[in-house]
Chains A and B, each alone.
Chain A
Amino acid sequence: MALNISESAVTVESQNRRSEKRPVGEVMLVRRPKITASNINVYYGNKQALFDINLDIHERQVTALIGPSGCGKTTFLRCINRMNDLIPGCRVKGDLAINGEDVYAKGVDVVCLRARVGMVFQKPNPFPKSIFDNVAYGARIHGLASNGTDLEEIVVKSLERAGLFAEVKDRLLEPGTSLSGGQQQRLCIARAIAIEPEIILMDEPCSALDPIATARIEELIDELSQNYTIIIVTHSMQQAARVSQRTAFFHLGYLVEDGETEVIFSTPEDERTKAYITGRIG
């Protein structure tokens, strides 16, 4: 754990240099949360979906959001990259900060935000384009590659990191939709990491996959957590236990409990958490 802390301090420093907002001197040897949500309330029309959510999400870790269906995990996830903006009648109140910057502040560019916060969806949704174009799309629209060689490099690197390159290297020009479900999901992950986001949101990425593909994705999540902050919504307790370092349990729109995954799963404080983990509710 000690090693982790020092590593994180370096990260914080490097990140501050990147944002050039805070003086380097402010770096602390404490794990500063990557994402801070305070008093988040979300309404769909008149119906309130989330109640006063306060949650810190730490850098270069996997945070799992668990809870029964309709508890607001996905709603919370979609607050982070403001995908909820797309839903008519959806209002978000409260503060949600990434690197200390309010995501919902005026003047925040949603396009820029979503480029920094990648997302992988429940159902694999590759574009009906070639595998290459799927991965290259983000880099193209954001102008990340100055020439064709650059772009190729980005695509190959992303596919490699998503553990897909070996399987598709001979058919990069075939449509992404021709891949199997698990491969499609890894393609979507490659597409997300191609633009080097800081955070990756995963909304039940394995729910449409078979156990082998699931195992492959979980491995991948583990590897990716070395470089990215990952938040994963999952219905599978085992999956949460396997891949995450921290877990947050949502129930009926409330954040019931959050903490180290091991602690949550072994000695939950709240009765409801215990009940859910042991399969009595949900």
Chain B
Amino acid sequence: MSETSLTSSGVGLRIAAGLKKRYRAEKRMRAYGLTAILLALTSLAVLMVFVVATGWTAFQQTIIQLEISLDESAIDPEGTRDEATLRRADYQGLIRNSLRDLFPDAVSRQDKRLLYKLISTGAQYELRDQVVMDPRLIGSVQTLWVLGSSDADMWQKGKLGSETVDGVGRLNAQQVQWLQFLREKNLILTQFNKAFFSNGDSREPEMAGIWGAAVGAFLSLSVTLILSFPLGVLTAVYLEELAPKNRWTRLIEVSINNLAAVPSIIFGLLGLAVFLNFFGFPRSSPLVGGMVLSLMTLPTIVIAARASLQSVPPSIREAALGIGASPVQVIFHHVVPLALPGMLTGTIIGLAQALGETAPLLMIGMLAFIADVPQGLFDSAATLPVQVYLWADSAERGFVEKTGAAIMVLLAFLVAMNGIAVYIRHKFERKW
């Protein structure tokens, strides 16, 4: 630094001497901060890349083209076209026949069994539904795309690694050969996996879908919202605006803050003990799930709502009181409307937290395998994170990509909810 009048005096010199050190400290601090952010971002990016790379293939399914002869003698021998009869017919047999026609080299019992394993067990139901919907198909030979099995799917997507003489994954050399044949003839391909977004869970990875869990999560979160938003807001309003500030209210405040830090599995135990065992509500139901989650969300909402009530300037309260508004009018005409965006933001954050919660749900039986899409609050259901957990726990290779895809769906929901929260916060942001 050049000698200026500023640094030539005694005090100036002493300040200048220390300056370098101060600037170094500042630079160091910035570097630490930047490193921290970079580390966080990198790990997030790695996580996302890993999840997406694993999961994106689940949005595709493998289908195989077969020529299926829909024999009248096999489907409807009496020619009644009665729906019940059509439903009872052996469509699996038809599919198997067509497979045998395609690969006449499979003669032994063992070979045939291996051959059948290329097609999903769900294929027969699709075929059945098609026939029931259009009985005129009976008697014709139809060229249809049927759902491939998970093994075929994995092979088609190249998830099984390099082939050896013994085959690959659970496929033996013979099966791989058949699949090669299908590929050469363009009889096997992948298409968008609609079933993933419309099915419930399944033991067969190729038929498992996220819809059941999504509906379960939606129902549970609705219960949570309906219970915890009014309770949380009213609690906050009472504590913040109406309650006398004494030892009791302070005790309640401290308890609420502590509740927010209680491990969520404890709430699950409470739900098990109280809601299931004492009140006898149905196990695994979104109703109980929602109730347990609202126990967990309530403190979050109360804390957020109180913070936003505190941020309403006291001058507004004084203005309203000054013209003779009663305390309740002050609260509901002025304070709550002004605090509402903050309350909503807090609520959405709380709900997003609840959406990602698994532990308390384990305790109340929402961990069960549930294939049906829940129809109401009392049906058994799973939620998204529980579905992730269930699939991650499954041995079948096909569930790996499903897990990734379920995580992506869950994250998409969370991002959407947080996006809404941010939007609300910005839209209603008020300057005083």
| Interface 1/0 per residue, B304-328 and A, CB below 8 Å | 0000000001011111111111100
| Interface 1/0 per residue, A102-114 and B, CB below 8 Å | 0000000001111
Known interface pairs A88-B245, A141-B329. Does A127 touch B321 (Cβ–Cβ under 8 Å)? Answer: no
Question: Cβ of B321: which chain A residues have Cβ within 8 Å of it?
Answer: 83, 86, 114
Question: Cβ of B430: which chain A residues have Cβ within 8 Å of it?
Answer: 128
A115 interface residue per 8 A CB criterion: yes
Residues in B321-348 with C-beta less than 8 Å from chain A: 321-326, 329, 333-334, 338
How many Å from the CB of A282 to the closest CB on chain B?
A: 26
How many Å from the CB of B142 to the closest CB on chain A?
A: 67
Select which of B319, B324, B338 is within 8 A of A121 by beta carbon: B319
A261 interface residue per 8 A CB criterion: no
Give Cα A112 to B323, complex, Å.
9
Give Cα A88 to B314, complex, Å.
14
Question: Cβ of A126: which chain B residues have Cβ within 8 Å of it?
Answer: 319
**When the two chains form their complex, are residues A123 and B338 in contact, meaning their CB atoms are under 8 A apart?**
no
Give Cα A113 to B326, complex, Å.
11
Count, chain A residues at interface, CB 8 A? 28
**When the two chains form their complex, are residues A121 and B323 in contact, meaning their CB atoms are under 8 A apart?**
no
Question: Cβ of B324: which chain A residues have Cβ within 8 Å of it?
Answer: 111-116, 138, 141-142, 195
Question: Cβ of B431: which chain A residues have Cβ within 8 Å of it?
Answer: 177
A81 interface residue per 8 A CB criterion: yes
Residues in A163-208 with C-beta less than 8 Å from chain B: 177, 188, 191-192, 194-195
Nearest A-chain residue to B329, judged by Cβ: A141
A253 interface residue per 8 A CB criterion: no
Known interface pairs A88-B245, A137-B333, A141-B329. Does A125 touch B316 (Cβ–Cβ under 8 Å)? Answer: yes
Residues in A113-146 with C-beta less than 8 Å from chain B: 113-116, 118-119, 121, 123, 125-128, 137-138, 141-142
**When the two chains form their complex, are residues A119 and B315 in contact, meaning their CB atoms are under 8 A apart?**
no
**When the two chains form their complex, are residues B316 and A114 in contact, meaning their CB atoms are under 8 A apart?**
no
Nearest B-chain residue to A192, judged by Cβ: B323
Give Cα A81 to B338, complex, Å.
25
**When the two chains form their complex, are residues B325 and A83 in contact, meaning their CB atoms are under 8 A apart?**
no
Give Cα A118 to B245, complex, Å.
28
Select which of A88, A113, A115, A123 is within 8 A of B315 by beta carbon: A123
Give Cα A194 to B325, complex, Å.
14
Residues in A70-85 with C-beta less than 8 Å from chain B: 81, 83
Give Cα A177 to B430, complex, Å.
10
Give Cα A178 to B318, complex, Å.
20
How many Å from the CB of B79 to the closest CB on chain A?
A: 75
**When the two chains form their complex, are residues A191 and B318 in contact, meaning their CB atoms are under 8 A apart?**
no
